[in-house]
Amino acid sequence: MIRLPGMGYDRAITIFSPDGRLFQVEYAMEAVKRGTTIIGVKVKEGVVLAAEKRSTTPLMDSETLDKIYVIDEHVGAAIAGLHADARRLIDYARVQAQINRLYYEEPITIEQLTKTVCDLKQNYTQFAGVRPFGVALLVAGVDVTGPRLFSTHPSGAYWEWQATAIGRGAQRVNEILEKEYKRELSLNEAIKLALKSLREVAEKELEPYNVELAVASIENKIFEKLKRDEVSKWLSSS
Nearby residues of 175 by Cβ (< 8 Å), 6 or more positions away: none
- CA–CA dist 237, 110 (Å, integer): 31
- CA–CA dist 194, 25 (Å, integer): 29
Catalytic residue among 36, 37, 125, 164: 37
- Least Cα distance to 197 among 18, 40, 55 occurs for 40
Nearby residues of 159 by Cβ (< 8 Å), 6 or more positions away: 150, 151
* Catalytic-residue membership of 116: no
Contact between 213 and 226 under an 8 Å Cβ cutoff? The reply is yes
Q: CA separation (Å) from 35 to 19, 30, 83, 92, 196?
A: 28, 9, 10, 21, 19
Catalytic residues: 37
